[in-house]
Structure 1
Amino acid sequence: MNLKKIFPLVLLLVSFTFYAQGERMREKKEQIKTMKVAFLTTELNLTSSEAEKFWPVYNTFDDKQFELRHQKMKSFMRRMNDESVDKMSEKEASAFLNQMESTEEELFLLRKKFIATLKSILPATKIIQLRKSEEDFNRKLLQQYRDKGPKR
């Protein structure tokens, strides 16, 4: 068979596989987000007025936080996991550390702004409860992942 005929077919199959994986990841993310909304709704016991103001602010914050964590931090982790960390010069390591610190600061400032906005929507007790509930949800999610993971 001619390579010119096989190549487009292989490219199509590879593209479809990546698309399918991307779709599964999006579905998983949406599923987790739905579970998180249900969990936080139950834990925070928001009034309808609070919920109406809270969810748009929370969703915007959560999306920005996800973007920062999964785009920038993921690239940092990838770089730290490869062999290049051992071969970095002091100057490269310093620049890399500055990038990491900058991203951490962005995350901190994002959360700080989020909390400042929440203060006009929720009482302080519910803001603290939100933080606790987020951590509880993350622990619960991690435990589910561990329980379903490969048995050793």
Structure 2
Amino acid sequence: MKTYKQLLIILFLLSIPVIAQRHSDEKSEKIKALKISFITTELSLTSDEAARFWPVYNVFDDKQFEIRHLKMRSFKDKMSDENLSKMNDKEAASLLAEMESSEDELYQIRKKFISSIKGILPPIKIIKLKKAEIDFNRKLLQQYRDKGQNK
């Protein structure tokens, strides 16, 4: 009987990360849907433009996410107070070079993305896209701030 209870507890504890991941995935999908709706509205995309634009944008956004969240997360870990206090100049120079490389990679994929959508959207909508991305991120951040203050 004791083994059965232990097994139930272990199964419960193992299921927590799965539930948390599912919740996180649902939030990410909801945010992505809101972003698509927001950008489509702000750019006044026609159905033809949207059909050609979104596949290209999604590939770009996924690459950008990968760089920002996966690589930058490793930088954040390396820049903890504990790690920084132990870091020597050689390690710091190496980390700085990695960070510069990631920033350059972000710049290059954005440049390639803009080049690839020039045949899909007129220049004014490309400019509006940048503004819409900034506005969406600000709006999202403000909602999180407001939600945090209401707790």
Q: Same fold by TM (over 0.5)?
A: yes
Residue in 2 aligned with 1:124?
Answer: 123
Residue 77 of structure 1: how far off its partner (Å): 1.2
Aligned to 2:14: 15
Q: How does 1:72-87 map to 2 (within 5 A)?
A: 72-87=71-86
Helix, strand or coil for the counterpart of 1:95? helix
Structure 1 residue 13, shift from structure 2 partner: 2.4
Percent identity among equivalent residues?
55
How far apart are residue 78 of structure 1 and its match?
Answer: 2.1
Letter in 2 for 1:69: R
Q: Secondary structure of 1:120's match?
A: coil
SS at match of 1:149: helix
What residue in structure 2 maps to residue 24 of structure 1? 23
How far apart are the structure 1 equivalents of 2:98 and 2:10? 36
Q: Within 2, Cα distance between the matches of 1:117 and 1:49?
A: 16
- Residues 14-45 of structure 1: CA deviation (Å, up to 9, x unaligned): 32111111111111100000000110011000
Rounded Cα–Cα distance in structure 2 between residues aligned with 1:75 and 1:14: 27
Is 2:133 aligned against 1:97?
no
Give 1:2 shift: 6.6
Unaligned runs of 5+ residues in structure 1 are none
Query: TM-score, normalising length from structure 2?
Result: 0.92
Cα RMSD after superposing both structures:
1.9
Q: What is the TM-score normalised by the length of structure 1?
A: 0.91
Q: Deviations over 1:33-83 (max 9, x none)?
A: 000011001100011211111010011111111111110001111221241
Unaligned runs of 5+ in 2: none
Runs (4 or more) in structure 1 with deviation over 6 Å come to 1-5
Aligned-residue offset at 1:12: 2.4
Q: Which moved more, 1:142-151 or 1:112-121?
A: 142-151
Distance 1:28 1:82 in 2: 30
The SS at the match of 1:26 is helix
Q: Which moved more, 1:100-109 or 1:78-87?
A: 78-87
Is residue 108 of structure 1 aligned with residue 107 of structure 2?
yes
Q: Distance in 1 between matches of 2:141 and 2:67?
A: 20
Alignment partners' CA distance in 1, 2:78 and 2:100: 15
Q: What is aligned with 2:57?
A: 58
SS state at 1:31 partner: helix
Q: Deviations for 1:65-108, whole angstroms, at most 9, x for unmatched residues?
A: 11111100011112212411111011111111111111111111
Give the superposition deviation at 1:150: 4.1
